[in-house]
A and B are shown apart, each in its own frame.
Chain A
Amino acid sequence: MGSIELVCPAGSPAMLKAAIEAGADSVYCGLRDETNARNFPGLNFDAEELARAVDFAHRRGAKVLVAINTFARAGGEDRWRASVKTAIRAGADAIIAADLAVLAHVRELNPTLRLHLSVQAAANTPEAIRFYVETFGVRRVVVPRVMSAPEIAELIKESSAEIEAFVFGGLCVMTEGRCALSSYVSGQSPNLSGVCSPPEAVSFERTAEGMVSRLSGLALDKTPSGATAGYPTLCKGRFAANGEAAYLFEEPTSLNAMGLLARLGEAGVTAVKIEGRQRGKAYVARVTRAFRKAIDALDRGESTAPYEHMLTDLAEGGRETQGAYNKRWR
């Protein structure tokens, strides 16, 4: 492992294998139900697959972090309890959780298992982190993608937990864990159902002029022929206001903070995370390989510049951004 831990997505056993073979230090994954925030058709692991995946990863010196990071539903808590039990039985190296009840349940069942605070908990102050550390023994916090690089540096100075930051992939512009936009249109949200813009509510229509992307029948964007489109989410839709149609919240772009790895490392970030459990093995292999090279280059005292534009074609809308890390609009 290099100076910064590389944490990569594994939506399936095939992705997990691809990520580890491409150089991931850790992989994160979820079980096949609403207890994780990527509850898509055909994705994720059953109990047996998870146990085999942990064994495969450990034999290659990699860690498996299991995301049980949605918020337990009143009356349906047993499903979250069952997921915790399955992850512990499989030998997971850590559980990633956001819900206070899930965090408490993990701690009760296993006092020594590493707990990572999910980005869904949106902990972005030293006080919030201190609460999770003191109450549940949380060892690592995944910080929200709305924080700037200087803010993360300040946070680390006062934090007793390790900090993990997203550096590549889909970009949530809302405070994570508190966004319900998707549920207004589709009835499902990341926090409760594990999906933002569930695929069964998404449709694409190609016309002579281009492609119209819809969510529950509502047109969210229209992309001209030849241009690269994005997945339709309300926060990245194009809306008409004052007689002009524009991306009012955020354009369909993807995060790529490879150019900030050195700054994040100097600030004391322990681990960097790649988003995209829903993408597949081709995606995870390419992204992991590129970030492995970049981290190894940093450790040799070299620049990451040669690797920074290797992944542009994988970005949503074909465009990349450093997101809030370089935020100037607050």
Chain B
Amino acid sequence: MQFSEERLSARFLTDLAIVLRPPVEILLNLAIRRAWRRSSSAFGRLGRFQNHPYLIDPKDLPVVFELTLSEDGGAVRVVRRALQPTGYVAEISGDLVELLALFDGSADADATFFAGGLTVRGDTGAVLALHNALEAANLRLADLLVPGPLAPGLDPILQRLIEWRRARKQTGGEPHGVH
């Protein structure tokens, strides 16, 4: 009984995420555009990995994200996890807070990866190039989570929230989601 309730709940969450896909995609694409405007050369650091899709997989969300960047900008697509197609240059998975901390550069990628907080598949060079491009773009958490003019003011609050969640996990408050 409990099992089917869990399955129902997972399916409900997935359906909800898919219903919310258009506004989420708009929000994330605006974030990419803002970062690109701020530092237009940053995504060029991807070199030969420009225009190749990456799969970003937050283990604790019912959907995954397909991210494609180039020196002319980029795009994000929300994809149902069960339907995820193949052909990504690299796949990066981990808990949402770890991925957010990596995207805004507040976590050390090597330490997180080697401690088991992240999984990567595919071309390791592509993963490194993406990390360096995102660092150069100076993405802020608020860019990803809050639209427009509210972003700068809310960034310190979001930073502290993410730090608190990560610290709770590291001190054993919760089991790690990635093995």
Contact = CB atoms under 8 A, between A and B. Distances in A.
Answer yes or no: do A and B interact: yes
Interface of A: 11-15, 40-43, 46, 49, 198-200, 202-204, 206, 211, 225-226, 228-231, 278-283, 286, 313-314, 316-318
A204 B91 CA distance: 12
Contacts, number: 96
A40 B128 contact: yes
Chain B: interface size category: 20 to 34
A41 B111 contact: no
B75 interface: no
A261 B114 CA distance: 28
B132 A40 contact: yes
A225 B176 CA distance: 11
Interface in B84-132: 105-111, 114-116, 119-120, 123-132
B136 interface: yes
Contact of B128 (A199, A225, A317): A199
Interface of B: 41, 45-47, 49, 105-111, 114-116, 119-120, 123-133, 135-136, 138, 179
A248 to B, nearest CB: 21
Contact of B116 (A11, A46, A228, A313): A228
A162 to B, nearest CB: 30
Secondary structure at the B interface, as helix, strand, loop or mixed, is helix
Given A199-B125, A229-B114, A283-B108, A41 B47 contact: yes
Nearest to A317: B114
Nearest to A226: B116
A282 B136 CA distance: 13
Contacts of A231: 110, 114
Contact of A41 (B106, B119, B129): B129
Contacts of B111: 283, 313-314
Contact of A228 (B115, B120, B125): B115
Contact of B114 (A199, A200, A226, A228): A228
Contact of A280 (B49, B119, B131): B131
A226 B114 CA distance: 10
B125 A204 contact: no
